[in-house]
Homo-oligomer: A and B are copies of this chain.
């Protein structure tokens, strides 16, 4: 996991680490470009994938585009396979204290309207292909 990084990769990692706003790949690209005008988008995408794979960076998916739809509108949680991306409804309610939720919302500055717990791990079929 501690593969050494190329200088481009270091620059990208630096940008992600110092960013305070969860940048998108293209935003990262724009910023890196200020230091390294000749870098290409493709390189940034490739590097980001590597960094995620190596655990230096995490990706978060927000609700813009590329989403899946769910007919179950009652509150429930999801389990997501980190290998194949499978999305599984969690059949039990993962309880979180209301007081903690409110405190967290207040600390974040948002008015809370709902919440979701996400479990990440390997789905059954990816476990089977163990490795």
Question: How many of A's residues come within 8 Å of B, CB to CB?
Answer: 74
Chain B residue contacts of A24, Cβ below 8 A = 66-69
Among B13, B88, B113, contact of A108 (Cβ-Cβ < 8 Å):
B88
Contact, CB under 8 Å: A119 / B105: yes
Chain A, interface SS category: mixed
Q: Which residues of A contact B (CB under 8 A)?
A: 13, 16-19, 21-25, 28, 48, 51-52, 55-73, 77-82, 85, 87-92, 94-97, 100-101, 103-105, 107-124, 127
Query: What 7 A-B pairs come out closest when comparing CB atoms?
Result: A17-B71, A61-B61, A79-B108, A22-B68, A66-B66, A110-B121, A59-B67
